[in-house]
Amino acid sequence: MLHGLAVFTSNVDGQFQRAGLDDALIHECHGSLHWLQCLRGCGQAPWPADDVQPDIDEAECRWRGELPACPGCGGLARPNLLMFGDWGWISGRYDAQAHRLNRWLERVERPVVIEVGAGTAIPSVRMFGQQVVAGYGGHIVRINPREPDVATAFGVGLACGAVEALTALESKLG
Ligand SMILES: [Zn+2]
């Protein structure tokens, strides 16, 4: 049986990678600010934004100097993340992440989904956890100070903040 930790997140800030988690087991369902893509979709694959050093005029709320350009066509680049009503997002990197996460889920038994701060307004993260439980068994631990409800058969809701809940869980498992 496979043990370990995988991440499904709607955050786009790359903090799970910065915290040292394995990039191969992170699915960023809305993309990442740390990747760029061609605005007009010339066929260039998305590329890391590591070389971008934003120089912002904070008083005017403006980017100074040259905007990032597509290495394929020289046109304007954009963040490789999914915005509302966004038909131009190039999702290949994230489709691959989804595939890797599904392969991982097929190899685990009785997964525990620790869902942190996932609301009902845009329920993609909540739906993911529920699909895991429906498809692979296991349970959800739903950490949410305002919307902790979860059907008893599927898991438990903790009506508190993330640090409080995770610290308490760690001490119980300790
Ligand atoms: Zn291009």
Tokens 């308490």 — which residue? 168
Asked if residue 123 and residue 93 are part of one domain, the reply reads no
pLDDT per position as a tens digit, 10-41: 999 999 999 999 888 999 999 999 999 999 99
Distance 115 CA to ligand 1 centre (A): 37
Structural domain harbouring 135: 110-174
- Residue 173 has what pLDDT? 86
Distance 37 CA to ligand 1 centre (A): 8
Asked if residue 92 and residue 52 are part of one domain, the reply reads yes
Asked if residue 128 and residue 105 are part of one domain, the reply reads no
Asked if residue 46 and residue 83 are part of one domain, the reply reads yes
How would residue 2 be classed by pLDDT, with cut points 50, 70 and 90?
A: low
Q: Choose the final residue of a domain: 83, 109, 135.
A: 109
Distance 22 CA to ligand 1 centre (A): 30
Closest among 66, 72, 79 to 35, alpha carbons compared: 79
Asked if residue 156 and residue 88 are part of one domain, the reply reads no
Distance 89 CA to ligand 1 centre (A): 13
Q: What is each CA distance from 29 to 10, 92, 94, in whole angstroms?
A: 5, 11, 6
Rounded CA separation 23/27 (Å): 8
Running DSSP on this structure, what letter comes out for residue 23?
Answer: G
- Predicted confidence (pLDDT) at residue 123 exceeds the cutoff of 80: yes
- Predicted confidence (pLDDT) at residue 1 exceeds the cutoff of 60: no
- Predicted confidence (pLDDT) at residue 3 exceeds the cutoff of 80: no
Looking at residues 117-129, what average pLDDT do you find? 91
Asked if residue 96 and residue 76 are part of one domain, the reply reads yes
pLDDT per position as a tens digit, 45-98: 999 999 999 999 999 999 999 999 999 999 999 999 999 899 999 999 999 999
Rounded CA separation 157/152 (Å): 9
